[in-house]
Every structure is written in structure tokens, then in C-alpha cells.
Amino acid sequence: MMLILRRPPVSPYVIEMYEWFDRPKVISLILEYPQPCKVLRKFITDLHKLNELISRSLMCQLVLAVQHCIDHGVFHNDIHADNILVNTCSLELKLIDFGCAHLVDSNGYNSTQYLGKLAFCITVYFVFYYCIGMETSCRDLISQCLNRSPAKRLTLEQILQHEWLNNQC
């Protein structure tokens, strides 16, 4: 999957693979190592609460990362707060760990193929839901993303255009 994501255009929001080595029984990846950074869970814990400006920026970057993956035919399949790095100086986000990823074909995404931990299925939305002030437009965005009916959920494009993101993406 990392080879596919490496094809231009690359995304600043997805961890970059520099090189890879295929040896018997082992594949070694040489990946970007942004510094200083923390996983999103630790970043939030250390801050105690995300402010709305930071939350918007991180959500925007995350949606752009996911959109980049989908545009390249890759479904991450395990997005949660420990698979997102945040640069503590620049607040730039990187989506990491594509171990559960699979290809998206012309039929799209098969929701029965989710391979990640069940507890993290919708964590990203809950992370933002609980860590920021409950502004009405933020609640609206989250509730539309969590709609029980997949057909009624927002698309990535609709998320990027949602009023809560204030055209920051």
C-alpha cells in the first residue's frame, strides 16, 4: 500500500515511505520520522483539551489524508488516535500504520472487510467530539458522519465543505 501512496502527487498528511527492502520472511520499510511528534491520543492527553482552532486544523488534515488514500485506491481500514501523528511544533498531522489497509476497487469499499480493532471504528469522530467545546456546527458534523445509514453519511468532500471547518481545508 505504501508503494501506491508513494506515487505522485504525494500527500503531506500521509507518512512517506523512502525505501523498502524485501528479504526472505521480512520486509523492511524506511519511513519518514517527523519530529517532534506524538500520537494524537498522547497529544490530546498532554493538552487536556483541544481548542477549536487546533481541532479544525487536525480534522481538515485528517480528511485530506483519507481523501488522498482513497484517490490512490487505498483504504486505511484502521484509523484511530494511535495511528495519527501530530508534529507538536507545526501541528501538522501524519496518517500512519497501513498494516490493515486494502485496495479499493471499482465497487468501492466493502464495510464487511473492516480489519481494525472494533473499539476504534469511529474513534476519530469521538476524539474530536469529547475534546473540544460542543459547538452546534461541530455536533452537526459529527452526527452526520456517524449516521447509522451509510448512504446518509457525509462524503469526504461534504466534510471538507461543512460550515464547522470554515473553509480551512
Q: Per the residue annotation, which of 22, 46, 71, 78 is the catalytic one?
A: 78
Q: What is the 3-state secondary structure (H, E, C) of the chain?
A: CHHHHCCCCCCCCECCEEEEEEECCEEEEEECCCCCEEEHHHHHHHHCCCCHHHHHHHHHHHHHHHHHHHHCCEECCCCCCCCEEEECCCCCEEECCCCCCEECECCECCHHHCCCCHHHCCHHHHHHHHHCCCCHHHHHHHHHHCCCCHHHCCCHHHHHHCHHHCCCC
For this structure, is 22 an active site residue? no
Active site residues: 78
